[in-house]
Structure 1
Amino acid sequence: MKITLIAVGISAILMGCTNASNSSNPLSPISEAATASTQLQRMNISYPQTFKGDVKDNYFGTQVADPYRWLEDDMSSETGQWVKAENAVTQAYLAQVPSRDKLKERLKVLLDYEKVSAPFKEGKYTYFFKNDGLQNQAVLYRQIGDEEAQVFLDPNTFSDDGTTSLAGLDFSKDGSLVTYMISEGGSDWRKAITINVETKQTVSETLKDIKFSGISWLGNQGFYYSSYDKPQGSELSAKTDQHKLYFHRLDHKQTEDTLVFGGTDEQKNRYVSGEVTEDNQYLLISAAVSTSGNKLYLQDLSKPDSPLVTILDNTDSDTHLLDNEGSKLLLVTNLDAPNKRVISVDARHPQPKNWQDFIAQTDNVLDVSTGGGVIFASYMVDAISNVKQLDKNGKLIREVSLPGVGTASGFDGKKDQQTLYYSFTNYKTPSTIFSLDVQSGKSSVYLESKAKFDSDAYESKQVFYTSKDGTKVPMIITHKKGLKLDGSNPTMLYGYGGFNISLQPAFSSTNAAWLEQGGVYAVPNLRGGGEYGKAWHDAGTKLQKQNVFDDFIAAAEYLIAKNYTSPDYLAIRGGSNGGLLVGATMLQRPDLFKVALPAVGVLDMLRYHTFTAGAGWAYDYGTAQDSKKMFDYLMTYSPVQNVREGVNYPATLITTGDHDDRVVPAHSFKFAAELQAKNTGPNPMLIRIETNAGHGAGTPISKTIDQYADIFGFTLFNMGIKVK
């Protein structure tokens, strides 16, 4: 569920809560705003009256009510009115939070510094991204040698409000042409624009309706890209189920593009991608029905009308191209290697029976990159980076000396580059860019961060705690030095736990604002992630998903037991799959948390697969239609279906974007409606719906500042803590 882009790198007492009424008009009456008293510790909230319908679904003989089904219709005026009304209530509440403006000003200071990416070489130019400080989007610059850098692409000119972002960038092999993709309003749907790098003139018509796609060039003729057929009805929420790979010739219209893969029942897959080897000899096609596991095919581009050759005909593993030298292919795979390995095979006979280990599996998860004619094997050791430099035959040259304990990334480039670049960071250390001399292995500081944050005043340490079933789980805890362990520290527990995604330590200027307030920031590496390979991922999927919630709850209990915090000062936060994590755990253990912050969450587990590409998430979740056993299991934790009457839930601020076409906002809408209707305690149940925004990628800095000021302000206010 991700697209890669090279770039630089979110106690009030409430009275008089109104439950939803069963009105014949879906939005009658609507309270346009909450009324708030002038006392900082006491507010009156009147939630919008949300119509409850009588929709029910039958799952294996069980009737399940879905009273807020109408909120799934993002094109209806009723849903639009509801969004407006909910935002009015939320903004009226947040306007009374005294710390919000202070936090906003501090966030502006923390984010107002020059941010520069590692450089990368394309053709005769060296390119890099730079944000002068508070620019909504990073600008792409280029230079030759030591000449003064010039602006090449400025995404801030794409739209007046900064909500159109650069969402992908791919140069032709000789660097003379580039295709860049743009996202409007945070949508996953892209447009692709191809220009001559010298003249900046377009050399092809703008391609539309591209989604979940990279660009892979074949010489200067054109490129491969992927998309779905435009859905009927809502472009935001309608199901997109059949991904297709196309080849676009620069001198052709998009309507004339060649369909390379997909479009038949035999080739029906939700995720398809194509990659051309650096020498233009082979095309590798990956096809998957879910976010884990892919089939793999090869086509010899040096022979006209060459047939597709099957490398893998099943989705039992994740396998992709690393590099090639002539007909020798290097593939990265977790087939028979849950922590991944690199294999070599002849392209003429590429099936697994002919594979030979090139870099064998170890006890630690492997990630691999190439540059300068060598290979870099990056291992995760308890979520911490360890990097080895290997020669082109896979033999160890040296271990790369890193500046500390944290995350190192980069180590890639052209085969003839002798200087490569990588970045290093952790939760308290802003990212520093290093140059690496491939021949000597010597690293030098290329660019230090200009972040306005005193790292030396903070400490970050890794602990291991025990989950409910006895599993040891790592967690990194960051805070000011000299922290008093008296249970009164505001603590943000952040988690994800899914889709084989690993949370490695990285600095965030927004999180710095939390740390400056005396906050503790804790990140556990939950099951469902990729920190310990495929087995760790699988242990948090389908009928084992509760393990993820148990790991998160155990992390909270550890922080409380060690007196970092207490239930009155503990907040939980996560986005997307992490939003599900927060939603499920706040319902299962409302006594454990003061504040819950689910962002763009997958919250209706019975219907997630009916929207956009959601069916592709079934590897992690299963679906309610799979079997009665799977339905029963999903019903035990699905947030929308598990809000109970008469429970005092933690103060909740749900966040989503009205243009989120990854996890459609209906998830958040329905969860908010359920909480507002059923919660009887004094805590606020609010939803903040960002307009003209999507799942998060490409969010302009101005919106980021506003969002985090609201999130941190809401959290500290409900903990009764004044901003310093």
Structure 2
Amino acid sequence: MPQRLTYPATKKNDHADNYFGTTIADPYRWLENDHAADTAAWVKAQNAITDAYLDQIPFRGRILSRLVELSDYPRESAARRAGRWLFFSRNSGLQNQAVLYVQDGAEGKAEVLIDPNQLSEDGTIAIQATAFSKNQRYFAYSVAASGSDWQEILVLDFQRRELLADRIEHVKFSGISWAGDDGFYYSGYEQPRDEKTKFSAVSTHQRVYYHRIGTAQTEDLLIYEDRDHPLRYVDASLTEDERFLVLHIAEGTDGTEIRVRDLQDPHSSGFRTVVAGFDTNAAIIGNVGDKLILQTNAAAPRFRVVLMDPRKPDTADWSTLIPEATETLTDVATGGGKLFVSYLKDASTLVQQHRLDGTLEHQISLPGPGTAAGFGCRAHEDYFFYTFTSFTYPATVFRYDIATGLSALYKSPELRFDPEAFETKQVFYPSKDGTLVPMFITGKKGIELDGNNPTMLYAYGGFNINLTPAFSSSNIVWLEQGGIYCVANLRGGGEYGEDWHQAGMLDRKQNVFDDFIAAAEYLIAEKYTRPEKLAIRGGSNGGLLVGACMTQRPELFAAAIPQVGVLDMLRYHKFTVGWGWVVEYGSSDTEAQFRYLLSYSPLHNLRSGTCYPATLITTADHDDRVVPAHSFKFAAALQEAQGCAAPALIRIDIRAGHGAGKPTAKLIDEMADIWSFVWANTGGIVVQPLQEPPGNTKSLH
């Protein structure tokens, strides 16, 4: 029997809120103040006990060493074309951030354009959006520090390789759309009123600006704002021919309104609404002359592609180019006078090439079930690069020739592991209400189904986001030791279109938790594992998933890893951009929604004396997407409620955020801690060599 841990004392106050006659205590409200001295002291004390626990795991050092070895391999993104230049990112292996390179043509020598590792000593400054001006005179890019959503846009004179004085601050959730070589459109906010609360205060009034090169940000032209609706996102982009300026507007993470301005129409004085309201999801893909190509789920839950005249935007006047199919249409791009249409078939990618009139030319051949991305290019280009990956297939770059429809291997990574030792299969299991849910299961070939395999179950289940096969070097460590890795495609995602999404949102959110619990029960029934060896993990909305399931069925899991999770469902909308998730979750400000949010909110469903799974909560001090207060309060409440000796720990990363741009070193340390914790609490021990024999380098090609 493990010894019960002694946790740092966490003070409680008598704060409570009244929701429609129901009093809800919130004794750890003070932990929401992330810049207060007492919160900092609490963070330090919690990290100390977590570090002490992880340090005593005898095989953590070996796991860390193998993670370093598996991560130390050169890898590149698919190159994008900009005039005669190829532009791509490359990580030589253990660099904290990938370096941006340019190359003069396919046969040119790659040269460093921007090395973000030189921007900070600890690798915590990351590059986000990037864009060349039309004739490659300038290169604009945004940088974010310590994982924050806040960004700055910088501009490089590409011909001289000199950084200009132009600097755009207070940017968040923005692209960079150039108008010729003169300037670009972006989305920004006013300067935060209080720098101390910029990582937790609600972000409001996003606006679209135009910045002219060589001028100060204070002179930027305000293109669009909506003072009546401060809680809306707005993103601006130009069509490739720069004829239409397009605004995609959202009240949250679901639903789109689209407005356009025809810049060639001398009589156009403003934006015209072409997709009204927020009842559907839509995106402008491009244009054919004065007509717009639109991807939409209006009257098509699995999406279709239509051609519209912006002067006659009624749906009755739309012309269908590509009708709704059995598979879910996930992406459409133009290039070389074609349309490239990506579908999901049971959570794996299918890609088709169509003419601009919608006529199907052929399906693009891929290496197998997996995830392919990067299709499309400019209208005059005749080839492009894309990537393909799967659970045991590292991201590999292919060159695609539009005229022949043939793909050729371009860049293949080499790692020190044997992909032939593993296999992935897909199963379909029944959820509580009988709905069949797909799940990928990866493990060693010939693994014995005797119920004794340590198993990690991962899922997300929300926001119309698809979980598709992808390679992770850190998962190989788990697989090499005989662990099984499972990914369930729960309702709430978009794998089967908008109906699948809506079946897991708002008052139907419990379906998502039921799907996840049913996945665990399937793995147990089929003898892959048993509760004492089953771990669950998820991040962000997936952190909510883990928190809800471990509180609803604590006996079903040995270990739980809720990462940067939304764990306080009554107050999530009161921080940064949490208001944007109300369309997905609902709000405690509405009585009916308060009732169902309270029914599953992880923070509010912990019960004193219950034996909860061994839990390692992870968050970061600069997470301004899901503020760390969620994890702080949940950790404090879990430590108080825990009814057995299973550890209830929180790992708080410093100078890190929600996940995007996290340095390689921090990623490796975090995964070493997670896998060590999981192994220590699923009865697993490291039995296989964590060092491959010299010369046993395996290539996929």
Q: Please, what TM-score do these two structures have when normalized by structure 1? A: 0.93
Q: Does 1:651 align with 2:611?
A: no
Q: Does 1:540 align with 2:517?
A: no
Between 334-343 and 689-698, report the one with greater CA deviation.
334-343
Q: Deviations over 1:507-532 (max 9, x none)?
A: 11111111111110000100000000
Decide which of 292, 298, 312 is 1:329's aligned counterpart. Answer: 292
The 4+ residue runs of structure 1 with deviation greater than 6 A are none
> Alignment partner of 1:14: what SS?
coil
Structure 2 match to 1:211: 172
Q: Deviations over 1:403-437 (max 9, x none)?
A: 11111212111222212222221112122221111
Q: Does 1:200 align with 2:161?
A: yes
Q: How does 1:293-304 map to 2 (within 5 A)?
A: 293-303=255-265
Q: Deviations over 1:570-611 (max 9, x none)?
A: 000000000000000000000000000000000000000000
1:357 partner amino acid:
T
TM-superposed deviation, 1:313: 2.4
Q: Is the 8 A contact 1:372 1:420 kept in 2?
A: no
Q: Is the 8 A contact 2:260 2:274 kept in 1?
A: yes
Q: Does 1:225 align with 2:171?
A: no
1:505 partner amino acid:
P
Q: Does 1:721 align with 2:681?
A: no
Q: Is the 8 A contact 1:327 1:348 kept in 2?
A: no
Q: How does 1:436-515 map to 2 (within 5 A)?
A: 436-515=400-479
Q: Is the 8 A contact 1:494 1:524 kept in 2?
A: yes
Q: Is the 8 A contact 1:195 1:204 kept in 2?
A: no
Q: Is the 8 A contact 1:658 1:694 kept in 2?
A: yes
Q: Deviations over 1:615-657 (max 9, x none)?
A: 110111001112x221111111101111100000000000001
**CA distance in 2 between partners of 1:397 and 1:598 (Å):** 45
**CA distance in 2 between partners of 1:692 and 1:61 (Å):** 41
Q: Is the 8 A contact 1:114 1:133 kept in 2?
A: yes
Q: Deviations over 1:110-164 (max 9, x none)?
A: 0000101111111221112111110111111111131221111111111010001
1:147 partner amino acid:
G
**CA distance in 2 between partners of 1:659 and 1:351 (Å):** 44
> Alignment partner of 2:357: what SS?
coil
Decide which of 64, 70, 74 is 2:30's aligned counterpart. Answer: 70
Decide which of 117, 120, 125 is 1:159's aligned counterpart. Answer: 120
**CA distance in 1 between partners of 2:56 and 2:169 (Å):** 44
Decide which of 107, 120, 137 is 1:176's aligned counterpart. Answer: 137
Q: Does 1:638 align with 2:627?
A: no
Structure 2 match to 1:696: 659
Q: Deviations over 1:331-386 (max 9, x none)?
A: 11111111111110123333433211111111211121222221111111111111
Q: Give the paired residue count.
A: 682
Decide which of 210, 218, 230 is 1:268's aligned counterpart. Answer: 230
Structure 2 match to 1:377: 341
1:314 partner amino acid:
G
TM-superposed deviation, 1:269: 4.0
Q: Is the 8 A contact 2:565 2:626 kept in 1?
A: yes
**CA distance in 2 between partners of 1:138 and 1:165 (Å):** 9
TM-superposed deviation, 1:203: 3.5
Identity of aligned residues (%): 51
Q: Is the 8 A contact 1:124 1:175 kept in 2?
A: no
TM-superposed deviation, 1:268: 3.5
**CA distance in 2 between partners of 1:619 and 1:205 (Å):** 37
Q: Is the 8 A contact 1:300 1:306 kept in 2?
A: no
> Alignment partner of 2:166: what SS?
coil
TM-superposed deviation, 1:452: 2.3
Q: Is the 8 A contact 2:257 2:277 kept in 1?
A: yes
Decide which of 34, 38, 47 is 2:7's aligned counterpart. Answer: 47
Between 712-721 and 240-249, report the one with greater CA deviation.
240-249
Q: Please, what TM-score do these two structures have when normalized by structure 2? A: 0.96
Structure 2 match to 1:518: 482
**CA distance in 1 between partners of 2:310 and 2:273 (Å):** 11
Q: Is the 8 A contact 1:229 1:240 kept in 2?
A: no
**CA distance in 1 between partners of 2:286 and 2:3 (Å):** 60
Structure 1 match to 2:71: 111
Q: Is the 8 A contact 1:343 1:358 kept in 2?
A: yes
**CA distance in 1 between partners of 2:321 and 2:403 (Å):** 22
Structure 2 match to 1:251: 214
Between 542-551 and 251-260, report the one with greater CA deviation.
251-260
**CA distance in 1 between partners of 2:415 and 2:472 (Å):** 10
2:245 partner amino acid:
L
> Alignment partner of 1:179: what SS?
strand
Decide which of 617, 628, 632 is 1:665's aligned counterpart. Answer: 628
> Alignment partner of 2:102: what SS?
strand
Q: Deviations over 1:237-269 (max 9, x none)?
A: 00113221111111321112122222411x534
**CA distance in 1 between partners of 2:165 and 2:409 (Å):** 40
**CA distance in 1 between partners of 2:188 and 2:479 (Å):** 42
**CA distance in 2 between partners of 1:554 and 1:228 (Å):** 43
**CA distance in 2 between partners of 1:219 and 1:83 (Å):** 49
- Give structure 1 stretches of 5+ with no counterpart: 1-11, 16-44
- Give structure 2 stretches of 5+ with no counterpart: 688-701
Between 448-457 and 49-58, report the one with greater CA deviation.
448-457
Q: Is the 8 A contact 1:232 1:238 kept in 2?
A: no
> Alignment partner of 1:493: what SS?
strand
Q: Is the 8 A contact 1:286 1:295 kept in 2?
A: yes
TM-superposed deviation, 1:303: 4.3
Q: Is the 8 A contact 1:625 1:631 kept in 2?
A: yes
**CA distance in 2 between partners of 1:614 and 1:229 (Å):** 18
Structure 1 match to 2:645: 682
1:14 partner amino acid:
Q
1:598 partner amino acid:
P
Q: Is the 8 A contact 1:574 1:597 kept in 2?
A: yes
**CA distance in 2 between partners of 1:429 and 1:447 (Å):** 13
Q: Is the 8 A contact 2:462 2:505 kept in 1?
A: yes
**CA distance in 2 between partners of 1:106 and 1:370 (Å):** 42
Q: Is the 8 A contact 2:81 2:384 kept in 1?
A: no
Q: Does 1:280 align with 2:269?
A: no
